[in-house]
A and B are shown apart, each in its own frame.
Chain A
Amino acid sequence: MPEGGFISGDRRGSTAVIPTGAAPSDDALLVLFANGEQAAARDLTERLAPRAHGVAMRVLGDRAEAEDVAQEAMMRLWRMAPDWQPGTAKVSTWLYRVTLNLCLDIKRRRRGGMARLDDVPDPPDPGQGAAERLQQTARADALQAALGLLPDRQREAVVLRHLEGLSNPEIAEIMEISTEAVESLTARGKRALSRALSGRKDELGYRDD
């Protein structure tokens, strides 16, 4: 037994070390789930489903479709659990990849369905006190609309890098491209976003310093 932890094993021989006193890793939870522990599924859902849902929401821009994608991605995680090899890759990386592929499938089915930046409602006239909060929402909405204008791969790279906070190597693994390609996609994506949002500087409270 490893120092300071116990080993979760399964009938296939897969094991994952679960440190005592610390939250178990995604790996360990997945092995526990594969061994029949329903509680592990609840923990994994709390950890991973918001990420899948968040990425799907930002890539697709549609609440209902994002929910469907998150549910399907998690379903594939449950079905894949018995075959998971702990320590070979991160569960979150696997889930991000599946989520993006599902998003891509949906976008292929509805080419040209994203909202145009001009279609997004103007930011509401803020009242005293709530102004900052409303402006933040308006900026987030404007960014979401501008993201919708980007080519798929640029949008995915920008969302993973700047909204999910992943590293370039991790994004490269998720998107199955080189790190240099990730850097190129995010740079081009940011440039396009910046141009798209430059026309709304004043209404979104942006000031050049």
Chain B
Amino acid sequence: MTDSDRDLVDLDMFFDAARRETTVLPGDLERRIVADAARVLHERQIAAVAPRPGRWRQLYDMLGGWPAIAALATACAAGVWLGFSPPSTLPDPAQYLVSDSIFLDEDSLVIAMAEEG
């Protein structure tokens, strides 16, 4: 046995003393824990009875709420506006709707290819 081994103590006495010093649950803590349980149950019951959202609501949520809806509506309005009143630098798509010459005829295609060499 080494010197350090001789200095070791039997711990059973200390463990026994610690076990006898039972940590009693404070009454206030017990009340808080039981109140937490009641709150969790209440939340679960509310979630269980809450009506399922309708399709429009699901679509609304899926798109991302009112900011996304507003952005989508603005983009649509801008698209329609550009369609009816395009800037002068862009071709007017309305002309294609009323014109018969949407597609290039064969002669125009030959001329265009000849010009490009």
Residues of A whose CB lies within 8 Å of any CB of B are 33, 36, 38, 41-42, 44-46, 49-50, 53-54, 57-58, 66-67, 70-71, 74-75, 78-79, 81-82, 136-137, 139-140, 142-144, 146, 162-163, 190-191, 193-195, 197-198, 201, 206
Contact = CB atoms under 8 A, between A and B. Distances in A.
B1 interface: no
Contact of B33 (A54, A74, A137, A201): A74
Interface string B70-93: 000000000000000000000000
B55 interface: no
Contacts of B97: none
Interface in B21-44: 21-26, 29-30, 32-34, 36-38, 40-41, 44
Nearest to B14: A143
A71 B18 contact: no
B: interface residue count bin? 20 to 34
B59 to A, nearest CB: 29
A49 B36 contact: no
Nearest to B4: A195
21 contacts: A36-B41, A36-B45, A49-B29, A49-B33, A50-B24, A50-B25, A58-B18, A66-B23, A70-B25, A75-B33, A78-B36, A81-B40, A140-B17, A143-B11, A144-B18, A163-B15, A163-B19, A194-B7, A194-B11, A195-B4, A206-B13
B8 interface: yes
Given A49-B33, A140-B14, 8 more contacts: A42-B34, A45-B33, A49-B25, A66-B23, A75-B40, A139-B17, A163-B19, A190-B11
B14 A197 contact: yes
Contacts of A33: 37, 41
B36 A201 contact: no
Nearest to B30: A45
B9 A41 contact: no
List 6 A-B pairs, minimum CB-CB distance, nearest first.
A41-B37, A139-B17, A78-B40, A194-B8, A143-B14, A140-B21
Contact of A162 (B11, B26, B29): B11
A67 B29 contact: yes
Contacts of A139: 13-14, 17-18
Given A38-B38, A38-B41, A82-B44, A198 B21 contact: no
A146 B9 CA distance: 13
A41 B38 contact: yes
A44 B37 CA distance: 10
A49 B20 contact: no
B13 A162 contact: no
A144 B20 CA distance: 13
Contact of A74 (B13, B17, B36, B45): B36
A58 B45 CA distance: 37
B13 A71 contact: no
A50 B29 CA distance: 10
